[in-house]
Amino acid sequence: MTTTAGPTPGTTTVFDLGVTGVRALNAELHAPTSRHYEVLRPQGAHAVAAGIDTDIAVDVRGHVGYYAAGMNDGGRVTVHGNAGTGVAENMMSGLVRVTGDASQSAGATAHGGLLVVEGSASMRCGISMKGVDIVVGGDIGPMSAFMAQAGRLVVCGDAGASLGDSIYEARVYVRGGVASLGADCVEKEVRPEHRAELAELLAAAGIDADPAGFRRYGSARRLYHFTSGNSY
């Protein structure tokens, strides 16, 4: 750990994961003595910057493994590279940004905050999301928004097969094509309030896209009660 200045607001603390392990990094981030951190040479390490619960900023310079920024409740984490499985899983609040691509289960079960994937996200993006907002600059893989309960998923590219299977109350916006919709997921009308929230989400994500070009998907609510007519 190298502190470029003292542990006071406005300073930056640098962790070189090629030298210092993830344990030391996370221990520091859970009781931060700085407001801004730079993480160098992450080398695909897992659980980088997981469990943050204060308003700190973390810039990770390189690719991370599984569960980066997992369960964060506040703070701003930027991965300047690609992220492995489960980036920002179960996030409660805060901002997580991936400048590259994300592997599967990005934003899984997350309750709040904003996850931005500037590239594409693999399968199961937003699985069981519970209130998070996710904006993906590129495509998403199959089975995304599976059992998505709440929150909004914005996809500027295409969506893979079985989008929104068994979806509850989450809202999904896709600009490109959708390979197929999952059980109980249907296309819905895009009304002015939806275009307005899309514009807000895209602006918050810093992605330049026209809200008019998106289609909306959500639950038909036909699977909310077990009946003999359920077939899925």
Partner 1 sequence: MTDPSLREQHRFDSLRESATFDRPTIAAIQRAAATGVYDIRGWGAKRALPHFDDLLFLGASMSRYPLEGYRERCGTDVVLGDRNAAHPLHLDIPVTIAGMSFGALSAQAKEALGRGASEVGTSTTTGDGGMTPEERGQSTHLVYQYLPSRYGMNPTDLRKADAIEIVLGQGAKPGGGGMLLGQKISDRVADMRTLPAGIDQRSACRHPDWTGPDDLAIKILELREITDWAKPVYVKIGASRTYYDVKLAVAAGADVVVVDGMQGGTAATQDVFIEHVGIPTLAALPEAVQALQELGVHRKVQLIVSGGIRTGADVAKAMALGADAVAIGTAALIALGDNDPRHDDAYRRIGSAAGFYDDFQDGRDPAGITTQDPELAARLDPVEGGRRLANYLRVLTLEAQTIARACGKAHLRHLEPEDLVAVTIEAAAMARVPLAGTSWIPGRER
Q: Is 33 among the residues that bind partner 1 (CB under 8 A)? A: no
Q: Is 169 among the residues that bind partner 1 (CB under 8 A)? A: yes
Q: Report, in Å, the least distance between residue 195 CB and partner 1.
A: 25
Report the residue number, 18 or 30, with the smaller CB distance to partner 1: 30
The stretch near partner 1 (CB under 8 A) out of 8-16, 63-71, 114-122, 175-183 is 63-71
DSSP state of 147: T
Q: Is 75 among the residues that bind partner 1 (CB under 8 A)? A: no
Count residues near partner 1 (CB under 8 A): 44
177-200: burial string, b at 16+ Cβ within 10 Å, e else? ebeebbbbbeeeeeeeebbebbee
Q: What are phi and psi of 214, to 5 degrees?
A: -100, 150
Sign of CA dihedral 49, 55, 60, 66: positive
Q: Report, in Å, the least distance between residue 76 CB and partner 1.
A: 17
Q: Which of 35, 41, 46, 188 binds partner 1 (CB under 8 A)?
A: 46
Sign of CA dihedral 100, 138, 145, 132: positive
Distance CA 92, CA 110 (A): 6
Distance CA 97, CA 139 (A): 16
The residues of the shown chain that bind partner 1, judged by CB under 8 A, are 22-23, 26-27, 30, 46-47, 50-51, 53, 65-67, 70-73, 85-86, 89-90, 92, 104-105, 108-109, 111, 124, 127-128, 130-131, 146-147, 149-150, 166, 168-169, 224-228
